[in-house]
Amino acid sequence: MTPTPVPGAVLSMPSASDKANERHCFSDGKTVQCFGTQAEALRVASNGRIQLPAGQTSASMNPAVLFAPDTNIQAVLWENSGYTGSSWIFYHTSCDGGCENAPSGWNDRVSSVQTSSCGITLYEWYNGDKGGATLKVNYPGTTNVGPAMNDQASSWTAP
């Protein structure tokens, strides 16, 4: 099934217990694309370079493969701890990814993060505003961002 990208799409996030309604999304900077499986989202985001069997997620992948330079994937942000639930794929072509504000439906939802060697910094406030809490997550990530940032991130940067 080929998704139809919808510019400015509003993402409706499912409850943590509703696996059938999980959404796995990314943006190429122009459109948001969401899929019912992370395998499909990773395949599209990586231009076919990542091919996972149905039902498998990046949680079981070797980070060196997930974050290979040709995939353009800088991080995977997860709704729940332990790399579970819905996911947002932070897609960028370099470690200087600039700041990305949480898309609609993702504000205050991040609980675990997988990251490339670039690392990623989570910010409590939009636009990477340094007034709130921050958390720098280094390669390969963390299964739990901890109480200070759990469900608090509103923006993120790859240094």
Query: What's residue 57's pLDDT?
Result: 95
Peptide bond into 140 cis (omega under 30): yes
Tell me which of 3.50.50.60, 2.40.50.100, 2.60.40.1930, 2.60.20.10 is the CATH number of domain 20-158: 2.60.20.10
pLDDT at 18: 55
pTM of the model: 0.85
- What distance in Å separates the CA atoms of residue 40 and residue 88, rounded to the nearest whole number? 13
Cα–Cα distance, 49 to 71 (Å, whole number)? 6
Q: What does each of the 159 residues of the chain score in pLDDT, given as a tens digit?
A: 333 333 333 344 444 445 678 999 998 778 899 999 999 999 999 999 999 998 899 999 999 999 998 988 999 999 999 999 999 999 887 787 678 899 888 999 999 999 999 999 999 999 887 678 999 999 999 999 999 899 999 999 887
